[in-house]
Amino acid sequence: MNINKLFFHIHYCNSSKFKETGRYPRKFTRTLSHHEFVLVTEGAGNIVIGGKTYPLKQGMLFYISPGVMHSLDPDTKDPPCFLTVHFSYAQVNFNDGQWDITDEPRMLPLHAAQELKDAYSVQDLFHKLVDCWDGKLPGYELMSRTLLQQLGIAIFQSVRKQQWSGSNSRKMEKIIQYMHQHVSSKITLTELSEMVQLSPTYLSRTFKDTTGYAVIEFFNKIKIDKAKELLIEGDKKVKEVAQALGFTDEFYFSRLFKRMEGISPSEYYSKNVHGV
């Protein structure tokens, strides 16, 4: 799943600070029809999600998906405090000039519980989201959705850092840097796998898990972004731009450009250079 293609709707956000108010959370059991992120900021207790019990402690993130029964059992001597956001989402794609909206799968690709290593960045975004939602200033809904998207990306990145070794992370960064340096050339999966000493199959899986894109799809995105820069400069024809980026077939380049941007390179040039 590529989180960059998800469109979020927020039902509500909450910041529970029981120690400040003197009110303490009660034990409850419930099932939701939407998704929820819960970040523990302090305190203790237990939470049961889908029949499995997890301890509540600072820096723990819980993901509750629709239809999953869960219950909270707070520690009355050290009551937990939370940041929560309740949301739904759809996957939105833009291909060949057409919008495509796909109903959400039942679950995000996250475990029910994870202890974040870099909880500060996630907690900072979470606080901004809740403050924005509570403030209800003009435009707050759009700003809150944007913050939720950023929060989701931060969570996914944190989880991926914990899943993959530092060595693999450096290898993915090396591949992306290599792509930028060779944007005018052709590269192959075999070439990249030999460079970082990983099998093509393992490299493909790891790269997709890290970036959300297949290897060649990601390289083509870099090429098309560069193509847009060259077209806007206005001193190259479409054929010359294609050749500058390593495409031997101008028509294949144009088809790829239209599939990714929704308009042809010539239409992009006319719209952005001449305003037609």
- What is the rounded CA–CA span in Å between residue 38 and residue 72? 12
Q: Are residues 194 and 151 in the same domain?
A: no
Domain boundaries, position 83 = 3-163
CB 86 within 8 A of CB 78: no
Tens of pLDDT, residue by residue over 112-152, are 999 877 677 888 899 999 999 999 999 999 999 999 999 99
Q: Are residues 194 and 153 in the same domain?
A: no
Q: Are residues 141 and 225 in the same domain?
A: no
Q: Which alpha helices (H) appear in the chain, and where do they start and end?
A: 18-21, 119-135, 140-163, 166-181, 189-196, 200-211, 215-233, 238-244, 250-261, 265-269
Q: Are residues 51 and 151 in the same domain?
A: yes
- List C-alpha distances in Å: 67 to 20, 113, 154: 32, 17, 25
If the chain, 276 residues long, is cut into consecutive pieces of 10 residues, what is the mean pLDDT of each piece? 80 78 72 94 92 93 95 89 93 78 77 82 90 93 94 83 68 91 93 93 87 88 92 85 93 92 87 64
CATH classification at residue 177: 1.10.10.60
Letter for the amino acid at 173? E
Q: Are residues 175 and 124 in the same domain?
A: no
pTM here? 0.65
Q: Are residues 23 and 139 in the same domain?
A: yes
Q: Are residues 125 and 70 in the same domain?
A: yes
Q: Are residues 199 and 258 in the same domain?
A: yes
CATH classification at residue 56: 2.60.120.280
CB 64 within 8 A of CB 38: yes
Assigned token pair, 68:
């999953």
Letter for the amino acid at 224? I
Q: Are residues 170 and 254 in the same domain?
A: yes
- What is the rounded CA–CA span in Å between residue 83 and residue 37? 8
Q: Which of 163, 196, 226 is the last residue of a domain?
A: 163
Domain count, the chain: 2
| Residues listed for the chain | 276
Q: Are residues 192 and 111 in the same domain?
A: no
Cα end-to-end span (Å), the chain: 36
Q: Which of 102, 135, 163 is the last residue of a domain?
A: 163
Q: Are residues 193 and 276 in the same domain?
A: yes
- What is the rounded CA–CA span in Å between residue 156 and residue 8? 15
